[in-house]
Copies of this chain bind each other. A is one copy, B any other.
Amino acid sequence: MTTETSSAKHKQTTRDRILDAAERMFADKGLDGSSVRDITTAANVNLAAVNYHFGSKTGLIEAVFSRHLGPMNTARLALLDRVEEQAGESPPPIESVLDAFIRPVVMHHLAEHGANDAFMRLMSRCLNEPPTHTEQVKHHFDALMDRFHTAFSRALPDHSPSEIFWGVHFSIGIMHHTLHVLSHLHHLPFCPAESADAQTVVERVVSYTAAGMKAQHGSTISVKGPCGGTISTP
């Protein structure tokens, strides 16, 4: 097996050079926008090397995603484990669940001296790519979402399924968009200089999402039944 992470040895194998170049190019130009020729040229590698090492362009895409997604999601589950262990019998506070859900993702963004930036830009694009290339990647999230969904439900026991469902998705939307913003920070209008610190950003996201999820229940929305009528607009 020649599975060696690119930072372990000084000499990068052809496989790793392809992965690094593809990751960067996918993030910049999209999956369909990056040709195998561009990738192999940027990696200083022969054109046929992609099909030799990964079988096809689709196989390369799979490999690019899996290289980061596995470690990142196990980190999130491990953090959730610790949080639930600390809470004992009672459900952990929603802030801690959200922190376990979000922090490893944002942190991975700035890890490795910013070398993961390309993959994170790719990640925030993952949801919106044509399903052709990304369906094989979705299985990485199945077990993760199972665990976290029950954790969210336990942390907010009075919330309805619909409130949990939307609250979780709102948090996912914030998280993804935050990665996008972090990658384009210096090109965005109204951006204060001090907005990039990772710790602060994570805490902003957690406090924002926690407040949002709590407000989902018991606020001015007075529709009780599942198929309740519409509400008059303010």
Contacts and interface: CB of A to CB of B under 8 A. Distances in A.
A11 to B, nearest CB: 32
A32 interface: yes
Interface of A: 28-30, 32-33, 95-96, 99, 103, 124-125, 127-130, 132, 145, 149, 160-170, 172-178, 180-181, 189-195, 197-201, 203-205, 207-216, 219-221, 223, 225-231, 233-234
21 contacts: A30-B129, A128-B129, A149-B189, A149-B190, A164-B190, A166-B201, A169-B178, A173-B173, A173-B175, A173-B176, A173-B177, A173-B178, A173-B181, A177-B177, A194-B226, A197-B227, A197-B230, A200-B223, A200-B231, A209-B212, A211-B212
Contact of A169 (B163, B181, B200): B181
A188 B69 CA distance: 20
A162 B185 CA distance: 12
Contacts of A132: 29, 33
A199 B231 contact: yes
Residues of A contacting B: mostly: helix
A215 B177 CA distance: 19
Contacts of A195: 162, 165-166
A226 B193 CA distance: 8
A99 B193 contact: no
7 tightest CB-CB pairs across the interface, nearest first? A173-B177, A211-B215, A208-B212, A32-B32, A194-B226, A212-B212, A199-B225
